[in-house]
Amino acid sequence: MQSDTWSLIYAYGETDPEMEDPFYHGRDNRGVKSVNLLDPQIGDIPDEPGVKEWELRNDIIIPPIHTTYWCSVFKAPPVDVKHHIIGYQPWVTEGNEEYVHHFVVTTCTENEDETAGFEQFLEEYPQGSSCFDANMNSLISNCQSVLMAWAVGGVGENYPEQTGFPLKAASEGATYYLLHHVMLLGYEQLP
């Protein structure tokens, strides 16, 4: 066994089996879950004065539908010297773990017109909006370079020493786009 993500297939019945004949588990008492059975370590983020934390968070109320793709735009934090992203870890509100499926962070390229569009979106939708909202579609075409991604079973990643992704300064027009996918099992998918 290696420290990879495994697909765990499960089924369970409502009652204990009698004799050697278990009862059929039914259509709802089964599923598949992606898990790390060996709980791999991702290493420690250095505890040094120059290391800073930048939290990208979608603070939303999960709507009562099967699948939600929620998108937010973030400006890079103000920095006066070059910084690098040296790792990331998911943060999911306690109690919501079963609903969160994945997230993707991309970097956006922008010209003056697009910068105005991002600024307007940030002003009108500070908490983000549905990724399928018309306002979002015009913005995300410029946000295609994947910076980091996480899915169920993942634990994040810390990069090896002396490596990292350059973080552009906000003054350079650095904009990042967070796509967050949540699923509510038991709700019907909308057409």
pLDDT number for residue 102: 92
pLDDT number for residue 43: 64
Q: Are 58 and 180 in contact (CB under 8 A)?
A: yes
Q: What is the DSSP string of 46-71?
A: P--TT----------PPPSSSEEEEE
pLDDT number for residue 103: 92
d(CA 180, CA 45): 24
Pick from 180, 164, 145, 144: nearest CA to 72: 180
- The answer for residues whose C-beta is within 8 angstroms of residue 63's C-beta and 6 or more apart is none
Q: Which residue type does 31 have?
A: G
Q: Are 140 and 158 in contact (CB under 8 A)?
A: no
pLDDT block averages, 10 residues each, the chain of length 191 = 75 77 77 71 72 84 84 84 86 85 87 76 86 78 86 83 77 79 69 49
pLDDT number for residue 172: 64
